[in-house]
């Protein structure tokens, strides 16, 4: 999977680059609109991460230009402007998803996974971990063909942790993933524990879950 990162903050771009390379993507960084357009014209990318505030123009211009030629490329807009009109504008112009800064890298990888899955016609339909099978299209989990009854939130948490397996996921990251970014005023990250506790109970009925760790004071990790 080739991914183009268009971000003018070099350090941030490098951080995203490292993370995505570790996750197995092939990445390239550009810092300006001009370079981005040139890069898109000369190479094939599966996805582009596009910052809006670029030094030589607005990211939307890149998005517009890209959409005229490359319909198969997934575009995730990384925006610091929380403005709704930008979002609506962006949807019309053909961005596939949005992430508002600051975003969690694990959130980015989850969105990227979803967007690319959609782009490729849902060829990846399930994830599996230690015998548990997550069916992505109907939010169902089964263990050895025995279905588990998980709530939507429990499924989301499970999927998020599996997608970012072997990484410590903080409560905040999970909270943001489950409840989103906009309605965040009173979000209390401890509520995530309730859901995780329930999820673990349900999984534990089928097999021991020593691979599903609680990292003290921080969050959770699912190891392969």
Partner 1 sequence: MKIKHQLAIFNALTRLLVILILWLMLPILVENVVYRHINNGLIEKKKKFIDNLNQKEINDFIENADDSTETYSQFSTLHSEFLVLSKVPVKGNDKKTFFSNEFRIIEGEENEYRILQYHFTYENQDYQLEIGSSLSEVNDLTFIIRFFIIIVLVVILLATFLADTVYIEYLLKPFYKIIDTKIRRVNEPEAFDHTPIKAKSRDFRELDLVLNQMMDRIAELFKKEKQFISNVSHELLTPIALLKNKFENLLQNESLDDNAVDKIAGSLKTLDMLKKIINNLLLISRIENNQYEANENINFHEIINDLQSDFQDRMDDREIHFENHMKYDYAFTGNKTLIHILVYNLVTNAIKYNRPNGNINIEDGFEKGRYFISIADSGLGMSEAHLEKIFNRFTRISSDQDGQGLGLAIAESIASFHHIEIKVISKINEGTTFTLLLPEAAKHN
Q: Could you tell me the smallest distance in angstroms from the CB atom of residue 184 to partner 1?
A: 6
> ∠ CA(56), CA(59), CA(64), 5° rounding?
115
Do the strands 74-79 and 97-100 form a parallel or antiparallel pair, or are they unpaired?
parallel
Among 70, 101, 117, 200, binds partner 1 (CB under 8 A): 101
Residue 21 interacting with partner 1 (CB under 8 A): no
For 28: left if phi > 0, alpha if psi spans -120 to 50, otherwise beta; the answer is: beta
Q: Could you tell me the smallest distance in angstroms from the CB atom of residue 103 to partner 1?
A: 6
Residue 41 interacting with partner 1 (CB under 8 A): no
- 3-state percent helix, strand, coil for the chain, nearest multiple of 5: 40, 25, 35
For 144: left if phi > 0, alpha if psi spans -120 to 50, otherwise beta; the answer is: left
Q: Could you tell me the smallest distance in angstroms from the CB atom of residue 125 to partner 1?
A: 26
Are 1 and 47 spatial neighbours (Cβ–Cβ below 8 Å)? yes
Measure Cα distances from 117 to 46, 66, 72, 124, 166 in Å.
Answer: 11, 20, 12, 6, 21
Report CA torsion sign: 122, 41, 44, 8.
negative
Residue 18 interacting with partner 1 (CB under 8 A): yes
- Residue 93, both tokens: 């112009």
Q: By CB under 8 A, what part of segment 113-172 binds partner 1?
A: 151, 153, 167-168, 170, 172
Cβ proximity to partner 1, 102 vs 131, nearer residue: 102
Pick the piece of the chain touching partner 1 (CB under 8 A) from 76-84, 90-98, 119-127, 206-214.
76-84
Cβ proximity to partner 1, 101 vs 206, nearer residue: 101
Among 38, 41, 69, 83, binds partner 1 (CB under 8 A): 83
Q: Could you tell me the smallest distance in angstroms from the CB atom of residue 14 to partner 1?
A: 9
Residue 217 interacting with partner 1 (CB under 8 A): yes
- Residue 91, both tokens: 């949807």
- Please report, as ranges, the residues that interact with partner 1 according to CB under 8 A: 9, 11-12, 15-16, 18-19, 52-53, 80-85, 100-106, 151, 153, 167-168, 170, 172-173, 179, 181-188, 191, 194-195, 198, 215-219
């Amino acid at each position: 999977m080739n991914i183009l990162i268009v971000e003018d903050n070099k350090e941030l771009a490098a951080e995203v680059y490292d993370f995505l390379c570790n996750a197995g993507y092939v990445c390239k960084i550009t810092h300006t609109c001009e370079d981005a357009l040139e890069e898109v014209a000369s190479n094939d990318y599966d996805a582009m991460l596009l910052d809006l505030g670029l030094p030589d123009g607005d990211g939307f211009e890149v998005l517009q230009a890209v959409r005229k030629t490359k319909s198969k490329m997934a575009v995730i807009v990384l925006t610091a402007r929380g403005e709704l009109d930008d979002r609506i504008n962006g949807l019309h112009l053909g961005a596939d998803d949005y992430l508002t800064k600051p975003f969690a890298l694990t959130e980015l990888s989850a969105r990227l996974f979803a967007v690319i899955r959609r782009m490729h016609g849902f060829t990846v339909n399930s994830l599996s971990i230690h015998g548990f099978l997550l069916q992505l299209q109907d939010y169902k989990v089964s263990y050895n063909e025995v279905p588990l009854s998980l709530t939507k939130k429990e499924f989301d948490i499970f999927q998020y942790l599996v997608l970012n397996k072997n990484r410590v996921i903080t409560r905040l990251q999970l909270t943001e993933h489950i409840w989103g970014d906009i309605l965040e005023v009173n979000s209390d990250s401890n509520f995530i524990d309730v859901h995780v506790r329930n999820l673990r109970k349900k999984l534990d009925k089928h097999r021991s879950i020593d691979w599903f760790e609680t990292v003290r004071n921080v969050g959770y990790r699912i190891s392969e």
